[in-house]
Structure 1
Amino acid sequence: MASPEHDLDPVREGRDPVDDIPHILDKDGVRLTVDDAVATVTLTNPAKRNAQSPALWRALTEAGRLLPGSVRVVLLRAEGKSFSAGLDRQAFTPEGFDGEPSFLDLARGSDAELDATIAGYQEAFTWWRRRDLVSIAAVQGHAIGAGFQLALACDLRVVADDVQFAMRETSLGLVPDLAGTHPLVGLVGYGRALEMCLTGRFVTAEEAVNTGLANLAVPRDQLDAAAHDLASAILAAPRDAVIETKALLQGVQDRTYDEQRAAERQSQSRRLRDLAGLGD
Protein backbone atom coordinates (compact mmCIF):
# COMPACT_ATOMS: atom_id res chain seq x y z
CA MET A 1 0.00 0.00 0.00
CA ALA A 2 1.18 3.54 -0.64
CA SER A 3 2.70 5.57 2.16
CA PRO A 4 0.43 7.84 4.26
CA GLU A 5 1.97 10.87 2.58
CA HIS A 6 0.98 9.52 -0.84
CA ASP A 7 -2.59 8.92 0.36
CA LEU A 8 -3.10 12.23 2.15
CA ASP A 9 -1.52 14.72 -0.25
CA PRO A 10 -4.26 14.44 -2.92
CA VAL A 11 -6.88 15.00 -0.24
CA ARG A 12 -5.17 18.19 0.91
CA GLU A 13 -4.81 19.33 -2.69
CA GLY A 14 -8.52 18.82 -3.39
CA ARG A 15 -7.95 16.00 -5.89
CA ASP A 16 -9.45 12.55 -5.80
CA PRO A 17 -6.97 10.42 -3.78
CA VAL A 18 -7.05 7.62 -6.37
CA ASP A 19 -6.54 9.79 -9.46
CA ASP A 20 -2.94 8.63 -9.87
CA ILE A 21 -3.72 4.89 -9.62
CA PRO A 22 -4.63 2.94 -12.80
CA HIS A 23 -8.33 2.12 -13.08
CA ILE A 24 -9.38 -1.52 -13.29
CA LEU A 25 -13.00 -0.52 -13.86
CA ASP A 26 -14.57 2.84 -14.65
CA LYS A 27 -18.15 2.80 -15.91
CA ASP A 28 -21.77 3.52 -15.03
CA GLY A 29 -20.85 5.66 -12.05
CA VAL A 30 -18.39 3.21 -10.49
CA ARG A 31 -14.61 3.28 -10.49
CA LEU A 32 -12.37 0.51 -9.11
CA THR A 33 -8.67 1.00 -8.39
CA VAL A 34 -6.23 -1.32 -6.63
CA ASP A 35 -3.11 -0.24 -4.77
CA ASP A 36 -1.37 -3.35 -3.43
CA ALA A 37 -3.61 -4.82 -0.68
CA VAL A 38 -6.19 -2.02 -0.79
CA ALA A 39 -8.93 -1.69 -3.39
CA THR A 40 -10.98 1.48 -3.65
CA VAL A 41 -14.48 1.55 -5.11
CA THR A 42 -15.64 5.10 -5.82
CA LEU A 43 -19.10 6.30 -6.80
CA THR A 44 -18.43 8.85 -9.52
CA ASN A 45 -21.65 10.68 -10.35
CA PRO A 46 -21.69 13.63 -7.93
CA ALA A 47 -23.88 15.71 -10.26
CA LYS A 48 -26.74 13.33 -9.46
CA ARG A 49 -25.61 12.85 -5.84
CA ASN A 50 -24.52 9.33 -6.84
CA ALA A 51 -28.09 8.18 -7.39
CA GLN A 52 -28.30 4.46 -8.07
CA SER A 53 -29.60 2.44 -11.00
CA PRO A 54 -29.47 -1.17 -12.24
CA ALA A 55 -26.46 -0.25 -14.39
CA LEU A 56 -24.60 1.02 -11.33
CA TRP A 57 -25.50 -2.14 -9.43
CA ARG A 58 -24.11 -4.29 -12.24
CA ALA A 59 -20.91 -2.26 -12.16
CA LEU A 60 -20.60 -2.75 -8.40
CA THR A 61 -21.09 -6.49 -8.85
CA GLU A 62 -18.42 -6.51 -11.55
CA ALA A 63 -16.04 -4.61 -9.28
CA GLY A 64 -16.33 -7.37 -6.70
CA ARG A 65 -15.57 -10.03 -9.29
CA LEU A 66 -12.51 -8.15 -10.59
CA LEU A 67 -10.73 -7.89 -7.24
CA PRO A 68 -7.25 -9.47 -7.34
CA GLY A 69 -6.43 -12.07 -4.71
CA SER A 70 -3.89 -9.69 -3.17
CA VAL A 71 -6.64 -7.36 -1.91
CA ARG A 72 -7.31 -7.49 1.81
CA VAL A 73 -9.24 -4.26 2.40
CA VAL A 74 -11.84 -2.58 0.19
CA LEU A 75 -12.62 1.10 0.68
CA LEU A 76 -16.00 2.34 -0.57
CA ARG A 77 -16.24 6.09 -1.07
CA ALA A 78 -18.08 8.64 -3.18
CA GLU A 79 -17.26 11.85 -5.00
CA GLY A 80 -19.13 15.02 -4.18
CA LYS A 81 -21.19 16.24 -1.25
CA SER A 82 -23.36 13.13 -0.91
CA PHE A 83 -22.44 9.48 -0.59
CA SER A 84 -25.61 8.40 -2.40
CA ALA A 85 -29.07 9.95 -2.48
CA GLY A 86 -30.57 6.52 -3.15
CA LEU A 87 -32.41 5.09 -6.10
CA ASP A 88 -32.63 7.36 -9.13
CA ARG A 89 -36.26 8.54 -9.28
CA GLN A 90 -36.28 7.76 -13.00
CA ALA A 91 -36.85 4.16 -11.91
CA PHE A 92 -40.39 5.11 -10.90
CA THR A 93 -41.33 6.65 -14.24
CA PRO A 94 -43.25 4.58 -16.83
CA GLU A 95 -40.28 4.62 -19.22
CA GLY A 96 -37.68 3.77 -16.57
CA PHE A 97 -34.02 3.75 -17.65
CA ASP A 98 -32.93 3.43 -21.27
CA GLY A 99 -32.49 -0.23 -22.16
CA GLU A 100 -33.90 -1.39 -18.83
CA PRO A 101 -37.35 -2.72 -17.93
CA SER A 102 -39.22 -0.15 -15.85
CA PHE A 103 -40.28 -1.08 -12.34
CA LEU A 104 -43.84 -1.18 -13.65
CA ASP A 105 -42.76 -3.72 -16.28
CA LEU A 106 -41.04 -5.79 -13.59
CA ALA A 107 -44.19 -5.81 -11.50
CA ARG A 108 -46.10 -7.31 -14.42
CA GLY A 109 -43.70 -10.25 -14.70
CA SER A 110 -44.02 -13.63 -13.02
CA ASP A 111 -43.05 -14.17 -9.38
CA ALA A 112 -39.97 -16.10 -10.46
CA GLU A 113 -38.86 -13.38 -12.87
CA LEU A 114 -39.33 -10.63 -10.30
CA ASP A 115 -37.51 -12.60 -7.62
CA ALA A 116 -34.59 -13.29 -9.97
CA THR A 117 -34.34 -9.63 -10.96
CA ILE A 118 -34.22 -8.41 -7.36
CA ALA A 119 -31.70 -11.14 -6.50
CA GLY A 120 -29.51 -9.82 -9.31
CA TYR A 121 -29.73 -6.30 -7.88
CA GLN A 122 -28.80 -7.61 -4.43
CA GLU A 123 -25.53 -9.07 -5.70
CA ALA A 124 -24.08 -5.55 -5.75
CA PHE A 125 -24.61 -5.39 -1.98
CA THR A 126 -23.51 -8.84 -0.82
CA TRP A 127 -19.87 -9.39 -1.80
CA TRP A 128 -18.58 -6.70 0.57
CA ARG A 129 -18.80 -9.13 3.51
CA ARG A 130 -16.67 -11.85 1.98
CA ARG A 131 -14.57 -13.47 4.70
CA ASP A 132 -11.29 -12.87 2.90
CA LEU A 133 -11.92 -9.10 2.80
CA VAL A 134 -12.64 -6.28 5.22
CA SER A 135 -14.75 -3.52 3.67
CA ILE A 136 -14.90 0.05 4.94
CA ALA A 137 -17.48 2.60 3.80
CA ALA A 138 -16.45 6.27 4.00
CA VAL A 139 -19.77 8.10 4.07
CA GLN A 140 -20.48 11.83 3.76
CA GLY A 141 -23.62 13.87 3.28
CA HIS A 142 -26.77 12.03 2.33
CA ALA A 143 -26.90 8.23 2.40
CA ILE A 144 -30.56 7.57 1.69
CA GLY A 145 -32.41 4.36 0.87
CA ALA A 146 -30.20 2.36 -1.46
CA GLY A 147 -27.33 4.63 -0.38
CA PHE A 148 -27.93 3.72 3.26
CA GLN A 149 -28.07 0.04 2.32
CA LEU A 150 -24.82 0.27 0.37
CA ALA A 151 -23.09 1.71 3.43
CA LEU A 152 -24.63 -1.10 5.49
CA ALA A 153 -23.23 -3.65 3.04
CA CYS A 154 -19.72 -2.96 4.33
CA ASP A 155 -18.17 -4.40 7.47
CA LEU A 156 -17.24 -1.00 8.92
CA ARG A 157 -18.37 2.60 8.45
CA VAL A 158 -16.42 5.82 8.92
CA VAL A 159 -18.68 8.85 8.57
CA ALA A 160 -18.24 12.57 8.09
CA ASP A 161 -19.80 14.85 10.67
CA ASP A 162 -22.34 15.99 8.04
CA VAL A 163 -23.67 12.49 7.31
CA GLN A 164 -27.43 11.92 7.16
CA PHE A 165 -28.63 8.33 6.94
CA ALA A 166 -32.27 7.63 6.11
CA MET A 167 -34.26 4.58 5.03
CA ARG A 168 -37.02 6.04 2.87
CA GLU A 169 -38.38 2.96 1.08
CA THR A 170 -41.40 2.51 3.34
CA SER A 171 -42.57 6.08 2.71
CA LEU A 172 -42.59 5.22 -1.02
CA GLY A 173 -44.74 2.15 -0.43
CA LEU A 174 -41.74 -0.20 -0.73
CA VAL A 175 -39.43 -2.09 1.63
CA PRO A 176 -35.63 -2.06 1.95
CA ASP A 177 -34.71 -4.98 -0.31
CA LEU A 178 -31.01 -4.51 -1.07
CA ALA A 179 -29.68 -6.70 1.77
CA GLY A 180 -29.73 -3.84 4.28
CA THR A 181 -32.25 -5.06 6.86
CA HIS A 182 -30.09 -7.83 8.33
CA PRO A 183 -27.03 -5.68 9.10
CA LEU A 184 -29.21 -2.78 10.28
CA VAL A 185 -30.97 -4.92 12.90
CA GLY A 186 -27.65 -6.49 13.89
CA LEU A 187 -26.10 -3.06 14.45
CA VAL A 188 -28.84 -1.08 16.18
CA GLY A 189 -31.40 -3.69 17.32
CA TYR A 190 -34.89 -4.53 16.11
CA GLY A 191 -36.79 -1.69 17.77
CA ARG A 192 -34.51 1.10 16.57
CA ALA A 193 -34.20 -0.43 13.09
CA LEU A 194 -37.99 -0.66 12.79
CA GLU A 195 -38.42 2.95 13.89
CA MET A 196 -35.77 4.16 11.41
CA CYS A 197 -37.38 2.29 8.52
CA LEU A 198 -40.98 3.21 9.28
CA THR A 199 -40.37 6.91 9.91
CA GLY A 200 -37.65 7.45 7.30
CA ARG A 201 -36.07 10.05 9.57
CA PHE A 202 -32.49 11.25 9.28
CA VAL A 203 -29.82 9.70 11.49
CA THR A 204 -26.92 12.05 12.25
CA ALA A 205 -23.26 11.22 12.73
CA GLU A 206 -23.54 11.49 16.50
CA GLU A 207 -26.45 9.05 16.69
CA ALA A 208 -24.78 6.73 14.18
CA VAL A 209 -21.70 6.41 16.39
CA ASN A 210 -23.69 6.17 19.63
CA THR A 211 -25.88 3.35 18.30
CA GLY A 212 -23.08 1.36 16.65
CA LEU A 213 -24.21 2.19 13.13
CA ALA A 214 -20.86 3.91 12.51
CA ASN A 215 -17.45 3.13 13.96
CA LEU A 216 -16.08 6.65 13.82
CA ALA A 217 -17.15 10.19 12.91
CA VAL A 218 -14.67 12.80 11.69
CA PRO A 219 -14.76 16.25 10.04
CA ARG A 220 -15.61 16.04 6.35
CA ASP A 221 -12.12 17.00 5.19
CA GLN A 222 -10.62 14.15 7.23
CA LEU A 223 -12.89 11.38 5.95
CA ASP A 224 -10.61 9.79 3.35
CA ALA A 225 -7.60 9.98 5.65
CA ALA A 226 -9.53 8.37 8.52
CA ALA A 227 -10.70 5.52 6.28
CA HIS A 228 -7.13 4.91 5.09
CA ASP A 229 -5.85 4.97 8.68
CA LEU A 230 -8.39 2.29 9.61
CA ALA A 231 -7.36 0.22 6.59
CA SER A 232 -3.70 0.50 7.61
CA ALA A 233 -4.51 -0.67 11.14
CA ILE A 234 -6.31 -3.72 9.76
CA LEU A 235 -3.45 -4.52 7.39
CA ALA A 236 -1.03 -4.55 10.33
CA ALA A 237 -2.49 -7.89 11.51
CA PRO A 238 -1.67 -11.18 9.70
CA ARG A 239 -4.21 -11.91 6.98
CA ASP A 240 -5.16 -15.42 8.15
CA ALA A 241 -5.81 -14.17 11.69
CA VAL A 242 -8.06 -11.42 10.31
CA ILE A 243 -10.00 -13.92 8.19
CA GLU A 244 -10.48 -16.33 11.11
CA THR A 245 -11.57 -13.54 13.45
CA LYS A 246 -14.06 -12.15 10.94
CA ALA A 247 -15.53 -15.61 10.40
CA LEU A 248 -15.89 -16.10 14.16
CA LEU A 249 -17.74 -12.83 14.64
CA GLN A 250 -19.92 -13.25 11.56
CA GLY A 251 -21.18 -16.57 12.88
CA VAL A 252 -22.11 -15.41 16.38
CA GLN A 253 -25.79 -14.79 15.64
CA ASP A 254 -26.25 -18.30 14.26
CA ARG A 255 -24.52 -20.11 17.15
CA THR A 256 -25.33 -20.76 20.77
CA TYR A 257 -22.85 -19.71 23.44
CA ASP A 258 -21.38 -23.21 23.62
CA GLU A 259 -21.26 -23.52 19.84
CA GLN A 260 -19.36 -20.24 19.67
CA ARG A 261 -16.86 -21.48 22.28
CA ALA A 262 -16.32 -24.59 20.16
CA ALA A 263 -15.85 -22.46 17.04
CA GLU A 264 -13.24 -20.39 18.93
CA ARG A 265 -11.35 -23.55 19.89
CA GLN A 266 -11.37 -24.88 16.35
CA SER A 267 -10.25 -21.56 14.89
CA GLN A 268 -7.47 -21.16 17.43
CA SER A 269 -6.27 -24.70 16.79
CA ARG A 270 -5.92 -23.87 13.11
CA ARG A 271 -4.00 -20.70 13.91
CA LEU A 272 -1.63 -22.42 16.35
CA ARG A 273 -0.87 -25.22 13.91
CA ASP A 274 -0.26 -22.72 11.15
CA LEU A 275 2.09 -20.63 13.28
CA ALA A 276 3.94 -23.80 14.26
CA GLY A 277 4.32 -24.75 10.60
CA LEU A 278 1.96 -27.72 10.99
CA GLY A 279 -0.91 -26.44 8.85
CA ASP A 280 -2.14 -28.10 5.70
Structure 2
Amino acid sequence: MVGYILRRLLQAVLVVLVVTIIVFILLHSLPGGPARAILGPRATPGQITQFNHLNGLDRPLVVQYFSSVWGWATGNFGFSYVLNQSVGSLLAERLPKTIILALFSLILTVIVAIPIGVYQAVRRNRTFDYIMTALSFIFYAAPTFFLGLILIEVFSSVLGWFPPEAPQSNGVVPIFQQFPAMVLPIVTLALLSIAGFSRYMRSSVLDNVGQDYVRTARAKGASPSRVLWRHVLRNALIPIVTLLGLSLPALFAGALITESIFNFPGMGLLFWQAAQQSDYPVEIGVVIVTAFATVIGNLLADLSLVAIDPRVAL
Protein backbone atom coordinates (compact mmCIF):
# COMPACT_ATOMS: atom_id res chain seq x y z
CA MET A 1 0.00 0.00 0.00
CA VAL A 2 2.74 2.47 0.98
CA GLY A 3 4.73 1.62 -2.13
CA TYR A 4 1.69 2.19 -4.32
CA ILE A 5 1.03 5.60 -2.74
CA LEU A 6 4.67 6.62 -3.16
CA ARG A 7 4.62 5.59 -6.83
CA ARG A 8 1.47 7.57 -7.48
CA LEU A 9 2.93 10.62 -5.70
CA LEU A 10 6.09 10.38 -7.82
CA GLN A 11 4.01 10.11 -11.00
CA ALA A 12 1.96 13.15 -9.94
CA VAL A 13 5.12 15.21 -9.41
CA LEU A 14 6.47 14.16 -12.81
CA VAL A 15 3.21 15.11 -14.53
CA VAL A 16 3.25 18.55 -12.90
CA LEU A 17 6.86 19.06 -13.99
CA VAL A 18 6.01 18.12 -17.58
CA VAL A 19 3.12 20.60 -17.55
CA THR A 20 5.39 23.37 -16.26
CA ILE A 21 7.93 22.64 -19.03
CA ILE A 22 5.21 22.78 -21.71
CA VAL A 23 3.81 26.04 -20.32
CA PHE A 24 7.31 27.55 -20.14
CA ILE A 25 8.04 26.58 -23.75
CA LEU A 26 4.71 27.99 -24.95
CA LEU A 27 5.33 31.23 -23.07
CA HIS A 28 8.69 31.74 -24.77
CA SER A 29 7.28 30.72 -28.15
CA LEU A 30 5.01 33.76 -28.29
CA PRO A 31 5.69 36.04 -31.29
CA GLY A 32 8.28 38.55 -30.14
CA GLY A 33 8.60 36.84 -26.77
CA PRO A 34 6.65 37.45 -23.53
CA ALA A 35 7.63 41.16 -23.45
CA ARG A 36 6.16 41.90 -26.88
CA ALA A 37 3.03 39.87 -26.06
CA ILE A 38 2.46 41.73 -22.79
CA LEU A 39 3.52 45.26 -23.76
CA GLY A 40 1.84 45.17 -27.16
CA PRO A 41 3.03 45.73 -30.74
CA ARG A 42 3.75 49.45 -30.19
CA ALA A 43 6.36 48.89 -27.48
CA THR A 44 9.77 50.32 -28.34
CA PRO A 45 12.97 48.22 -28.23
CA GLY A 46 14.07 50.17 -25.16
CA GLN A 47 10.85 49.36 -23.34
CA ILE A 48 11.17 45.69 -24.25
CA THR A 49 14.77 45.59 -23.01
CA GLN A 50 13.80 47.25 -19.74
CA PHE A 51 10.85 44.89 -19.28
CA ASN A 52 13.05 41.84 -19.92
CA HIS A 53 15.60 43.07 -17.38
CA LEU A 54 13.02 43.85 -14.68
CA ASN A 55 11.35 40.43 -15.08
CA GLY A 56 14.54 38.41 -15.48
CA LEU A 57 13.80 37.50 -19.10
CA ASP A 58 17.37 38.33 -20.15
CA ARG A 59 18.80 35.50 -18.06
CA PRO A 60 19.59 31.96 -19.38
CA LEU A 61 16.49 29.88 -20.13
CA VAL A 62 17.38 27.23 -17.54
CA VAL A 63 17.60 29.90 -14.83
CA GLN A 64 14.32 31.43 -16.01
CA TYR A 65 12.59 28.03 -15.91
CA PHE A 66 13.60 27.20 -12.34
CA SER A 67 12.77 30.75 -11.28
CA SER A 68 9.32 30.41 -12.87
CA VAL A 69 8.71 27.02 -11.23
CA TRP A 70 9.70 28.42 -7.84
CA GLY A 71 7.36 31.36 -8.37
CA TRP A 72 4.46 29.09 -9.37
CA ALA A 73 5.12 26.83 -6.38
CA THR A 74 5.01 29.81 -4.00
CA GLY A 75 1.90 31.33 -5.60
CA ASN A 76 3.67 33.99 -7.67
CA PHE A 77 2.13 33.73 -11.14
CA GLY A 78 3.13 37.17 -12.31
CA PHE A 79 1.20 40.38 -12.80
CA SER A 80 -1.79 41.14 -15.00
CA TYR A 81 -1.06 44.40 -16.77
CA VAL A 82 -4.57 44.37 -18.25
CA LEU A 83 -6.36 44.15 -14.88
CA ASN A 84 -3.55 45.89 -12.96
CA GLN A 85 -3.58 43.14 -10.33
CA SER A 86 -1.37 40.22 -9.40
CA VAL A 87 -2.40 36.93 -10.96
CA GLY A 88 -2.15 35.20 -7.59
CA SER A 89 -4.78 37.47 -6.05
CA LEU A 90 -7.05 36.97 -9.06
CA LEU A 91 -6.79 33.19 -8.77
CA ALA A 92 -7.35 33.31 -5.00
CA GLU A 93 -10.53 35.29 -5.62
CA ARG A 94 -11.89 33.22 -8.51
CA LEU A 95 -10.72 29.66 -7.76
CA PRO A 96 -13.04 28.99 -4.76
CA LYS A 97 -16.06 29.90 -6.88
CA THR A 98 -15.11 27.47 -9.64
CA ILE A 99 -14.44 24.78 -7.03
CA ILE A 100 -17.94 25.29 -5.61
CA LEU A 101 -19.49 25.05 -9.08
CA ALA A 102 -17.51 21.92 -10.00
CA LEU A 103 -18.05 20.28 -6.61
CA PHE A 104 -21.82 20.70 -6.59
CA SER A 105 -21.94 19.59 -10.20
CA LEU A 106 -19.97 16.46 -9.35
CA ILE A 107 -22.18 15.71 -6.33
CA LEU A 108 -25.32 16.08 -8.46
CA THR A 109 -23.77 13.83 -11.11
CA VAL A 110 -23.03 11.05 -8.64
CA ILE A 111 -26.42 11.29 -6.89
CA VAL A 112 -28.34 11.10 -10.17
CA ALA A 113 -26.15 8.99 -12.46
CA ILE A 114 -25.40 6.01 -10.19
CA PRO A 115 -29.05 5.10 -9.36
CA ILE A 116 -30.03 5.62 -13.01
CA GLY A 117 -27.22 3.37 -14.22
CA VAL A 118 -28.04 0.66 -11.67
CA TYR A 119 -31.74 0.73 -12.48
CA GLN A 120 -30.98 0.61 -16.22
CA ALA A 121 -28.88 -2.51 -15.68
CA VAL A 122 -31.59 -4.16 -13.58
CA ARG A 123 -34.30 -3.22 -16.12
CA ARG A 124 -32.13 -3.61 -19.21
CA ASN A 125 -33.78 -3.76 -22.64
CA ARG A 126 -37.01 -2.38 -21.21
CA THR A 127 -38.80 0.93 -21.66
CA PHE A 128 -36.92 2.81 -18.93
CA ASP A 129 -33.57 1.58 -20.24
CA TYR A 130 -34.39 2.67 -23.80
CA ILE A 131 -35.61 6.11 -22.69
CA MET A 132 -32.56 6.81 -20.50
CA THR A 133 -30.21 5.56 -23.21
CA ALA A 134 -31.74 7.95 -25.72
CA LEU A 135 -31.57 10.87 -23.26
CA SER A 136 -27.97 10.00 -22.38
CA PHE A 137 -26.93 10.13 -26.03
CA ILE A 138 -28.74 13.45 -26.51
CA PHE A 139 -27.18 15.12 -23.46
CA TYR A 140 -23.75 13.63 -24.14
CA ALA A 141 -23.74 14.96 -27.69
CA ALA A 142 -25.25 18.37 -26.95
CA PRO A 143 -22.76 21.25 -26.57
CA THR A 144 -22.56 22.85 -23.13
CA PHE A 145 -23.51 26.30 -24.42
CA PHE A 146 -26.61 24.85 -26.12
CA LEU A 147 -27.80 23.15 -22.93
CA GLY A 148 -27.19 26.32 -20.94
CA LEU A 149 -29.16 28.48 -23.35
CA ILE A 150 -32.05 25.99 -23.41
CA LEU A 151 -32.20 25.90 -19.61
CA ILE A 152 -32.17 29.71 -19.44
CA GLU A 153 -34.96 29.94 -22.00
CA VAL A 154 -37.18 27.32 -20.35
CA PHE A 155 -36.60 27.75 -16.61
CA SER A 156 -35.84 31.47 -16.53
CA SER A 157 -37.57 33.20 -19.43
CA VAL A 158 -40.66 30.98 -19.74
CA LEU A 159 -41.24 29.52 -16.27
CA GLY A 160 -39.38 32.15 -14.25
CA TRP A 161 -38.20 29.63 -11.67
CA PHE A 162 -34.51 30.59 -11.57
CA PRO A 163 -32.46 33.70 -12.38
CA PRO A 164 -30.74 33.70 -15.79
CA GLU A 165 -27.47 34.94 -14.28
CA ALA A 166 -25.24 33.42 -11.62
CA PRO A 167 -24.44 35.35 -8.39
CA GLN A 168 -22.15 38.33 -9.03
CA SER A 169 -20.66 38.43 -5.54
CA ASN A 170 -17.00 38.98 -4.73
CA GLY A 171 -16.94 36.33 -2.00
CA VAL A 172 -18.00 32.73 -1.48
CA VAL A 173 -20.60 33.21 1.29
CA PRO A 174 -22.98 35.33 -0.87
CA ILE A 175 -23.09 32.45 -3.36
CA PHE A 176 -24.93 30.32 -0.81
CA GLN A 177 -27.15 33.26 0.10
CA GLN A 178 -28.20 33.46 -3.58
CA PHE A 179 -28.09 29.73 -4.23
CA PRO A 180 -31.17 29.61 -6.54
CA ALA A 181 -29.06 31.54 -9.05
CA MET A 182 -26.54 28.66 -8.98
CA VAL A 183 -29.05 25.97 -9.92
CA LEU A 184 -28.94 26.45 -13.70
CA PRO A 185 -25.10 26.63 -13.93
CA ILE A 186 -24.76 23.51 -11.76
CA VAL A 187 -27.35 21.57 -13.77
CA THR A 188 -25.82 22.67 -17.07
CA LEU A 189 -22.38 21.47 -16.03
CA ALA A 190 -23.76 18.22 -14.57
CA LEU A 191 -25.96 17.11 -17.47
CA LEU A 192 -23.05 16.06 -19.68
CA SER A 193 -21.41 14.15 -16.84
CA ILE A 194 -24.66 12.45 -15.83
CA ALA A 195 -25.08 11.13 -19.35
CA GLY A 196 -21.60 9.59 -19.41
CA PHE A 197 -21.55 8.33 -15.81
CA SER A 198 -24.91 6.57 -16.10
CA ARG A 199 -23.73 4.67 -19.19
CA TYR A 200 -20.52 3.61 -17.45
CA MET A 201 -22.48 2.55 -14.37
CA ARG A 202 -24.91 0.51 -16.43
CA SER A 203 -22.10 -1.32 -18.21
CA SER A 204 -20.20 -1.91 -14.98
CA VAL A 205 -23.22 -3.39 -13.20
CA LEU A 206 -23.97 -5.66 -16.15
CA ASP A 207 -20.35 -6.88 -16.16
CA ASN A 208 -20.52 -7.74 -12.47
CA VAL A 209 -23.95 -9.37 -12.46
CA GLY A 210 -22.60 -12.38 -14.35
CA GLN A 211 -19.56 -12.91 -12.10
CA ASP A 212 -19.04 -16.04 -9.98
CA TYR A 213 -19.29 -14.21 -6.65
CA VAL A 214 -22.82 -13.10 -7.55
CA ARG A 215 -23.90 -16.66 -8.29
CA THR A 216 -22.29 -17.80 -5.02
CA ALA A 217 -24.15 -15.12 -3.03
CA ARG A 218 -27.42 -16.13 -4.63
CA ALA A 219 -26.72 -19.79 -3.94
CA LYS A 220 -26.23 -18.95 -0.26
CA GLY A 221 -29.75 -17.51 -0.17
CA ALA A 222 -28.97 -13.78 -0.33
CA SER A 223 -31.90 -11.69 -1.55
CA PRO A 224 -31.63 -9.95 -4.96
CA SER A 225 -31.54 -6.50 -3.33
CA ARG A 226 -28.76 -7.58 -0.94
CA VAL A 227 -26.74 -9.04 -3.80
CA LEU A 228 -27.17 -5.86 -5.82
CA TRP A 229 -26.47 -3.22 -3.17
CA ARG A 230 -24.00 -5.09 -0.92
CA HIS A 231 -21.97 -7.05 -3.48
CA VAL A 232 -22.44 -5.82 -7.04
CA LEU A 233 -22.51 -2.09 -6.31
CA ARG A 234 -19.14 -1.97 -4.54
CA ASN A 235 -17.35 -3.68 -7.43
CA ALA A 236 -19.31 -1.74 -10.04
CA LEU A 237 -18.19 1.55 -8.47
CA ILE A 238 -14.50 0.84 -9.19
CA PRO A 239 -14.48 2.25 -12.76
CA ILE A 240 -16.72 5.11 -11.62
CA VAL A 241 -14.15 6.20 -9.02
CA THR A 242 -11.50 6.24 -11.74
CA LEU A 243 -13.85 8.20 -13.95
CA LEU A 244 -14.31 10.80 -11.20
CA GLY A 245 -10.63 11.68 -11.34
CA LEU A 246 -10.54 11.72 -15.13
CA SER A 247 -13.64 13.94 -15.27
CA LEU A 248 -11.95 16.90 -13.55
CA PRO A 249 -10.39 18.29 -16.77
CA ALA A 250 -13.78 18.05 -18.47
CA LEU A 251 -15.41 19.83 -15.51
CA PHE A 252 -12.94 22.72 -15.70
CA ALA A 253 -13.34 22.89 -19.48
CA GLY A 254 -17.11 22.87 -19.12
CA ALA A 255 -16.86 25.49 -16.39
CA LEU A 256 -15.18 27.83 -18.87
CA ILE A 257 -18.24 27.73 -21.14
CA THR A 258 -20.80 27.53 -18.34
CA GLU A 259 -19.34 30.51 -16.47
CA SER A 260 -19.27 32.52 -19.69
CA ILE A 261 -22.94 31.78 -20.40
CA PHE A 262 -24.16 32.57 -16.87
CA ASN A 263 -21.60 35.37 -16.28
CA PHE A 264 -20.30 33.57 -13.20
CA PRO A 265 -17.06 35.24 -11.99
CA GLY A 266 -14.97 32.10 -11.64
CA MET A 267 -11.77 30.83 -13.20
CA GLY A 268 -13.47 29.84 -16.44
CA LEU A 269 -14.79 33.34 -17.08
CA LEU A 270 -11.41 34.77 -16.01
CA PHE A 271 -9.63 32.60 -18.57
CA TRP A 272 -12.13 33.51 -21.29
CA GLN A 273 -11.70 37.23 -20.68
CA ALA A 274 -7.90 36.86 -20.50
CA ALA A 275 -7.88 35.07 -23.86
CA GLN A 276 -9.90 37.88 -25.44
CA GLN A 277 -7.55 40.53 -24.03
CA SER A 278 -4.30 38.57 -24.62
CA ASP A 279 -3.60 38.63 -20.89
CA TYR A 280 -0.97 35.87 -21.00
CA PRO A 281 0.08 35.87 -17.30
CA VAL A 282 -3.52 35.18 -16.29
CA GLU A 283 -3.90 32.43 -18.90
CA ILE A 284 -0.70 30.75 -17.74
CA GLY A 285 -1.77 30.99 -14.10
CA VAL A 286 -5.14 29.38 -14.84
CA VAL A 287 -3.49 26.58 -16.84
CA ILE A 288 -1.00 25.81 -14.07
CA VAL A 289 -3.65 25.78 -11.33
CA THR A 290 -6.00 23.65 -13.46
CA ALA A 291 -3.24 21.15 -14.22
CA PHE A 292 -2.32 20.93 -10.55
CA ALA A 293 -5.96 20.44 -9.53
CA THR A 294 -6.36 17.73 -12.18
CA VAL A 295 -3.30 15.85 -10.92
CA ILE A 296 -4.50 16.10 -7.31
CA GLY A 297 -7.96 14.90 -8.36
CA ASN A 298 -6.53 11.87 -10.15
CA LEU A 299 -4.30 11.10 -7.18
CA LEU A 300 -7.27 11.20 -4.79
CA ALA A 301 -9.24 8.98 -7.18
CA ASP A 302 -6.41 6.43 -7.19
CA LEU A 303 -6.21 6.43 -3.40
CA SER A 304 -10.00 6.04 -3.15
CA LEU A 305 -9.77 3.16 -5.60
CA VAL A 306 -7.33 1.37 -3.29
CA ALA A 307 -9.73 1.90 -0.37
CA ILE A 308 -12.57 0.31 -2.35
CA ASP A 309 -10.52 -2.50 -3.90
CA PRO A 310 -7.23 -3.28 -2.07
CA ARG A 311 -6.19 -5.55 -4.96
CA VAL A 312 -5.36 -2.44 -7.02
CA ALA A 313 -2.29 -1.77 -4.85
CA LEU A 314 -0.89 -5.14 -5.93
State the TM-score bracket (shorter-chain normalisation): under 0.3
> Bigger relative contact order, structure 1 or 2, given CA contacts below 8 A and separation 6+?
2
TM-score with structure 1 setting the length: 0.24
Q: Which is richer in helix?
A: 2
TM-score with structure 2 setting the length: 0.22
Q: Which is richer in strand?
A: 1
